[in-house]
């Protein structure tokens, strides 16, 4: 069975290398027919991998219409990545994770079923990493919001308009919430209304505290009046919620510590205490 698997693995690698050679030869001939100059080996390799990546991206675009990748696309948009990153690029990471997971686990365990399980785990690893980044960003936003609201409220008290106050905060601070407010100001500058820009931010972040923030400022922009007290009350409410969340996590910590205690510490203690007794009993038998 192992010999058959190794043979199939060798056959797959050989076929892949043969495919690479065919594609390099084809690309070289197309370049010559187009009248381009002969390219060096490094240039050929670079052009080939660019061609191969383009082919893989075109292939991956067939899958982005699935519901799972529509959700992943939404998660990618929430990160505001400066370098353009699309679902088809994300699928490449999943494919690499699948291949690496299978190869490494097969080398270590030499078990096809176990290797396939690790390959599936490698396939879903990029999504887990993406969700962890989103969770960290949400936590940072909730942490930064109370101070941001206080500063914006102080700017309003100083005589600035709501939009100018938000713009001033986003320009002078570098954090996740300030980046989102900067996007709001950019959307206003390209023609969106203040309400539409805030609602877009609320839809993207999908956080209850951000919904309250957007609603307060939309009402303040529409109806005017003295909104400083309402804004400060919202900041206090977000602080209270954050304090309750931290308090809940503090109470959950002892329960979570039981898992590593049971898995790692208790077995070692039992081995140290009862190991010599068991060895003596076995040697006596």
Which of 50-54, 58-62, 183-187 is least confident? 50-54
67-81 per-position pLDDT tens digit: 888 888 888 888 887
Single pTM value for the model: 0.69
Q: How far apart are CA 96 and CA 119, in angstroms?
A: 10
**Residue 111: phi, psi to the nearest 5?**
-130, 120
* Local confidence band at 266 (pLDDT 50, 70, 90 cut-offs): confident
Residue 15, pLDDT > 80, answer no
Q: How many CA atoms lie within 13 A of 79 on its CB side?
A: 18
State pLDDT tens for residues 102-119. Answer: 888 888 887 888 888 888
List, in order, residues 6 or more apart from 178 with CB less than 8 Å away: 144, 148, 169, 170
In which residue are the tokens 């690029």 written?
Answer: 89
Render pLDDT for 123-162 as a digit per residue (tens, 0 to 9): 999 999 999 999 999 889 888 888 888 888 888 878 788 8
The third-level CATH classification (topology) of the domain covering 147-243 is Receptor-associated Protein (1.20.81)
- Residue 4 to residue 10: CA distance in whole angstroms: 10
Across the range 7-17, mean pLDDT stands at 63
pLDDT score, position 213: 82
Query: Is the CB of residue 69 less than 8 Å from the CB of residue 63?
Result: yes
Compare 197 and 258 and report the one with higher pLDDT.
197
Question: 193: which DSSP letter?
Answer: -
Q: Which pLDDT tens digit goes with each residue over 198-238?
A: 899 988 888 888 888 888 888 777 776 566 677 777 777 77
pLDDT in tens, 162-205: 888 888 999 888 889 999 999 999 999 998 888 899 899 988 88
Of residues 41, 42, 43, 49, the one with CA closest to residue 23: 49
Least confident span in 89-98, 175-184, 273-282: 273-282
Q: Which range has the worst mean pLDDT, 49-53, 213-217, 242-246?
A: 49-53
């Amino acid at each position: 069975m192992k010999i058959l698997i190794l043979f199939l693995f060798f056959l797959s690698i050989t076929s892949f290398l043969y495919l690479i050679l065919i594609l390099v030869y084809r690309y070289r001939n197309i370049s010559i027919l187009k009248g381009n100059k002969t390219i060096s080996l490094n240039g050929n390799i670079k052009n080939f991998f660019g061609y191969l990546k383009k082919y893989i991206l075109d292939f991956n675009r067939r899958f982005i219409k699935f519901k799972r990748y529509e959700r992943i696309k939404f998660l990618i948009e929430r990160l505001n990545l400066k370098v353009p990153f699309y679902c088809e690029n994300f699928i490449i990471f999943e494919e690499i994770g699948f291949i690496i997971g299978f190869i490494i686990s097969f080398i270590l365990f030499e078990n096809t079923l176990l290797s396939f399980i690790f390959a599936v785990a490698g396939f879903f690893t990029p999504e887990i990493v993406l969700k962890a980044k989103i969770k960290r960003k949400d936590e940072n936003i909730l942490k930064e919001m109370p101070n941001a609201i206080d500063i914006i409220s102080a700017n309003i008290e100083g005589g600035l308009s709501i939009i100018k106050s938000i713009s001033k905060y986003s320009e002078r601070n570098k954090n996740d919430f300030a980046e989102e407010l900067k996007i709001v100001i950019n959307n206003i500058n390209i023609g969106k209304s203040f309400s539409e820009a805030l609602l877009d931010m609320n839809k993207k972040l999908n956080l209850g505290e951000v919904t309250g923030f957007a609603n307060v400022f939309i009402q303040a922009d529409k109806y005017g009046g003295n909104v400083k007290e309402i804004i400060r009350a919202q900041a206090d409410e977000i602080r209270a919620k954050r304090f309750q969340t931290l308090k809940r996590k503090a109470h959950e910590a002892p329960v979570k510590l039981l898992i590593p205690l049971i898995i790692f510490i208790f077995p070692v203690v039992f081995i140290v205490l009862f190991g010599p007794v068991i060895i003596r009993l076995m040697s006596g038998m």
